[in-house]
Amino acid sequence: MKLRRIAAATLLAAAACTHTRTGAAGGAPTPSNPSSAQPSPAAVNLPPIPLVKGALQIRVVYPSPNQLIQARDSNFIFGSVGNGHAKLTIDGAPVQVYPNGSFIAFLPLPAREHSSYDLMATLGSDTARATQTIRLLPPIPLLADTGVLVVDSSSVAPFGRIALGDSETVRVAVRAPANATVAWRPDSLTMVPMVNGAALPLRSAFDAPVPPGVITPRTAGDSVQWSLGVPAGRMRAPTSIVVARGADTVRLAVPAIAPAPPVPTWGILGADTSSVGDTDRVIIGRPVPNGTYKWLLMAGTAVPVTGYDGDFVRVRLDDALQIWVLASDIALMPNGWDPVARVAGNAQLRASAEWVDLEIPLSSRPPFLVEEGDHELQLTLYGVTGNTDIITYTGDDSLVRVVRWEPVGSERVRYTLRLATQPFGYLAFWDNGRFVLRVRRPPRINPDRPLAGLTIAVDPGHPPIGATGPTGLYEPVPTLAVGEKLREVLAARGATVIMTRTTAAPVALGARPIMARRADAQALVSIHLNALPDGVDPFVSHGTGTYFFHPQSEPMARALETSLVRHLGLPELGIHYDNLALARPTWMPAVLCEGAFIMMPEQEAALRTPQFQLAYARGIADGLETYFRSLAPRR
C-alpha cells in the first residue's frame, strides 16, 4: 500500500500508501457505517469474523492523536472496542461493532471548537469512553464582497526559491474579492492592474455571443483568483501586491526572482558518483516541479542547468525540452566546464540467446526516453546529433526485424526498433562509450505448464511503513503470509521464486526491483493491502485493484486483476496506470496488487485466515498462468 496521489492524501496511522482513486467526498454526507450502508455484494464470500469477548476497551487506530485531517467535511475513523457484543457511538452517532470488536465509520468532522471525536462503548452495565483529539485544516478565508476586506495571503504566488531567465514569464497571483481593485506594484511609482479570473467570459463556442455591455451575474464558486504574467527580469527585487476596496487596503509581499544560472552552467545527474556504473541507478525527471515521473535517466548524465524552483532544478535536455529534477540529484560543475558534443555514430545490433542489444557510440551518457508501441520500441536521445550512416545487423534475428533512425530537430534523434513480438522487457544502460538498449526476448512457454522454468519475483509489500487495520493487523504481516503461500503455489507449478523478503525485517523500497532484475525474473509481483486517503467514504470505495506503469505490463495486470476478483470475491476496482517503484522496472512485466482493504473490518479479519491468504496467492498464480499462456505459440 502507498499514500500519494489522491489530492491532499494523509498518512493513515502506521500507514504508508493509498492507491484507490474511486469515490470522493462531496458535501456533508450522513454518517456511514455498515448498519446504515448496504453491505458489499462480496461480503458473503469472506470468512466469518470470529467472536471476541474481551474486556471493554476503546482503541482508535485512525486517526492517531492530534492527526491533521486532510479533509474538510467528513472522514473515517476506525479501531476496536475489545468485545463483539459491545455497542458504540461516536459523537452520538451509532456505529456498528463487528464480532471481533472492530469498527469503522464515516462521519462529519467534529466542529472546529471541539476538534475531537467522542467515543462511548457500552456492554451491559459497563461503559468505556474515549476522546480522540485531531487537528483540522485551517479554514479557507471567506472573501466576501462586503464588510472588512479579507485577502487570502496564503495564495500569493510566486513563493519560495525561484531562478529564471529575464524573458521568462512569472505568474503573480492572489485570491481576493471579485469587487476589489488588485494591482502588482514593482516599485513606489508603478501600479500594474491584475486580472480577475471570474471576470473572464467562459463560454462554449456554441453559445450565443454576449451582447456588448451585458454583464452576466457571478455565481457561487466563481474564481476570485487575480493574476498577472510578469517577465522574471522585472522581479529581481522584492515587489508587492496591493488589494484595495473602499477605505481598506492590504499589501502583500512578493519575493524576488533570482536570475537563471549563467549559460552554460552544467550539472551531472547523480551526485553520488559511486553509483554511476550501476545500471539500476536512475534519476527521476519530471515535467513540472514536484510533478509525476516521466524520464528515468542514467546517473552520470551531463545536462545544462536553466532554473530553480524550491527543491527542484530545471535542466535542458535539448533545444525543445526542459524538465525538472531534485536539487539533491544533481551536482553543479565548475563555471566554464563544457562536455564534448554528443554525436550518434554508426549503430550495431548484437544478438544473444536471451536478448538483442542496440549499441550506439556516443561521447557521453545522453538523456533519453524509451516508449513502447505496437510491436516496436522507440528510443529518443536528447542533446544528441544524429549521424548514423550504417546500422549493422547480425544475421536474421527473430526479435528485432529492423531499426530506423531519424533526426527530430538539431539536438534530438529517434531510433525505432520494429519487433517480431510485442515488447516484453528492455534495459537501457551505458557500456564503455556506448549507449545500449537491450531488448529482452519473451520466454518460451509450454501452454500446458505456462509457469514451468520461469523465474518469478514475489515482493511481500512493506516494511518499512505499511497500513494497520482496525484490530491492529500490520500490513507487512499478511503480505508476507500471502507471499510465502504464493511461493509454494508457484513452485508446485514449476517456477523458480525469488522473494524480496522472507522475514519481518525492513527491506528498502528501491532494493526490491533491483533484486528482481538481477535475478533475471520474467515477472515481478508486489503484494499489498489498500487503504484510503482522508475524505473518501470506505463503504463506497473498496475492493481489489491492480497497478502497472509500462505498457508491457498491462496485459499481465489485466490477467491478475480478473483472477484476483474471482478468487477473493471483492468488488473490482480495475487496473490502474500508476507511477510506483515496484511497477517501474523495465526488464520484466511488473505489477502491484492491492488485493483487499486492510482498513475494512471484514477484510482485515479475512486477512488473518490461512484460507483467504491462500486465495490471494492462488489468484496471483492463476493470473500469471493466464498471462504467460497467452505468450505461447498458437497450436
Question: What is residue 280's predicted lDDT score, i.e. its pLDDT?
Answer: 78
The 10s digit of each residue's pLDDT in 286-344 is 999 999 999 999 999 999 999 999 999 999 999 999 999 999 999 999 988 999 999 99
Q: Do residues 243 and 181 make contact, with C-beta atoms less than 8 angstroms apart? A: yes
Cell of 612: 483467504
Q: Do residues 367 and 382 make contact, with C-beta atoms less than 8 angstroms apart? A: yes
Please choose, from the candidates 129, 136, 139, the residue with its C-alpha nearest in 3D space to the C-alpha of residue 115.
136
Asked if residue 275 belongs to a domain, the reply is yes
Residue type, 413: V
Q: Coil, strand or helix: which one is 386?
A: strand
- Boundary-marking domain end, from 417, 440, 463: 440
Asked if residue 95 belongs to a domain, the reply is yes
Please choose, from the candidates 216, 177, 210, the residue with its C-alpha nearest in 3D space to the C-alpha of residue 194.
177
Asked if residue 230 belongs to a domain, the reply is no
Cell of 230: 510578469
β-pairing, 496-499 vs 302-309, is unpaired
The 10s digit of each residue's pLDDT in 403-428 is 999 999 999 999 999 999 999 999 99
Please choose, from the candidates 259, 278, 287, 266, the residue with its C-alpha nearest in 3D space to the C-alpha of residue 331.
266
Asked if residue 176 belongs to a domain, the reply is no
Asked if residue 339 belongs to a domain, the reply is no
Please choose, from the candidates 458, 408, 405, the residue with its C-alpha nearest in 3D space to the C-alpha of residue 435.
405
Question: Are residue 460 and residue 433 in the same domain, yes or no?
Answer: no
Q: Range of 436's domain?
A: 355-440
> What is the sign of the dihedral through the CA atoms of 540, 544, 549 and 551?
negative
- Boundary-marking domain end, from 136, 155, 171: 136
Q: Determine if residue 23 is left, alpha or beta; phi over 0 gives left, psi from -120 to 50 gives alpha, anything else beta.
A: left
Q: Coil, strand or helix: which one is 625?
A: helix
Residue 65 confidence (pLDDT) above 70: yes
DSSP result, 12-63: PTT---B---S----S-PPPB-TTTSPPPTTGGGSPPPPP-B-----EEEES
Question: Are residue 572 and residue 466 in the same domain, yes or no?
Answer: yes
Question: Are residue 431 and residue 363 in the same domain, yes or no?
Answer: yes
Burial class (CB in 10 A: 0-12, 13-18, 19+), 630: middle
Residue 490 confidence (pLDDT) above 50: yes
Question: Are residue 596 and residue 518 in the same domain, yes or no?
Answer: yes
Q: Determine if residue 362 is left, alpha or beta; phi over 0 gives left, psi from -120 to 50 gives alpha, anything else beta.
A: beta
The model's confidence at residue 233, banded by pLDDT at 50, 70 and 90, is very high
Question: Are residue 488 and residue 615 in the same domain, yes or no?
Answer: yes
CATH of the domain at 54: 2.60.40.10
Cell of 336: 566554464
- Boundary-marking domain end, from 440, 469, 492: 440
Bridge partners for 411 per DSSP:
none
Distances (CA, A) of 565 to 86, 312, 434, 561, 625: 33, 41, 46, 6, 15
Orientation angle between helical segments 554-568 and 610-629, nearest 10 degrees:
140
Question: Are residue 548 and residue 624 in the same domain, yes or no?
Answer: yes
Is the bond preceding residue 450 a cis peptide, omega within 30 degrees?
no
Q: Do residues 129 and 81 make contact, with C-beta atoms less than 8 angstroms apart? A: no
Question: Are residue 516 and residue 434 in the same domain, yes or no?
Answer: no
Bridge partners for 539 per DSSP:
none
The 10s digit of each residue's pLDDT in 205-220 is 444 454 443 333 343 3
The 10s digit of each residue's pLDDT in 259-287 is 999 888 999 999 654 444 456 788 999 99
Residue with cell 471576470: 199
Q: Coil, strand or helix: which one is 377?
A: strand
Helix ranges (DSSP H) in 71-148: none
Question: Are residue 361 and residue 388 in the same domain, yes or no?
Answer: yes
What long-range pairs does 391-394 form, CB within 8 A, spacing at least 24? 391/346, 391/347, 391/348, 391/349, 392/346, 392/347, 392/348, 392/349, 393/349, 394/348, 394/349, 394/350, 394/351
The 10s digit of each residue's pLDDT in 534-577 is 999 999 999 999 999 999 999 999 999 999 999 999 999 999 99
Bridge partners for 547 per DSSP:
576, 592
Question: Are residue 288 and residue 363 in the same domain, yes or no?
Answer: no
Q: Coil, strand or helix: which one is 191?
A: coil
Asked if residue 172 belongs to a domain, the reply is no
* Rounded CA separation 139/145 (Å): 18
The model's confidence at residue 190, banded by pLDDT at 50, 70 and 90, is very high
Q: Do residues 32 and 23 make contact, with C-beta atoms less than 8 angstroms apart? A: no
Asked if residue 377 belongs to a domain, the reply is yes
Quickly count helices (H) and strands (E) in the chain. Answer: 5, 42
**Residue 215 DSSP symbol:** -
Question: Are residue 389 and residue 486 in the same domain, yes or no?
Answer: no
Residues 6+ apart with CB under 8 A from 310: 160, 161, 162, 289, 290
Question: Are residue 509 and residue 587 in the same domain, yes or no?
Answer: yes
**Residue 615: its H or E element:** helix 610-629
Bridge partners for 368 per DSSP:
381
Strand residues in 142-281 grouped as ranges (E)? 152-157, 162-164, 169-175, 181-185, 192-193, 195-196, 225-231, 239-245, 248-254, 258-259, 266-269
Torsion of CA 54, 58, 61, 64, to 10 degrees: -160
CATH of the domain at 550: 3.40.630.40
Asked if residue 297 belongs to a domain, the reply is yes
The 10s digit of each residue's pLDDT in 5-40 is 232 233 333 333 444 433 333 334 445 665 443 333
The number of domains in the chain is: 4
Quote the mean pLDDT of the chain: 89
Question: Are residue 435 and residue 470 in the same domain, yes or no?
Answer: no
pTM: 0.89
Q: Coil, strand or helix: which one is 1?
A: coil
CATH of the domain at 315: 2.30.30
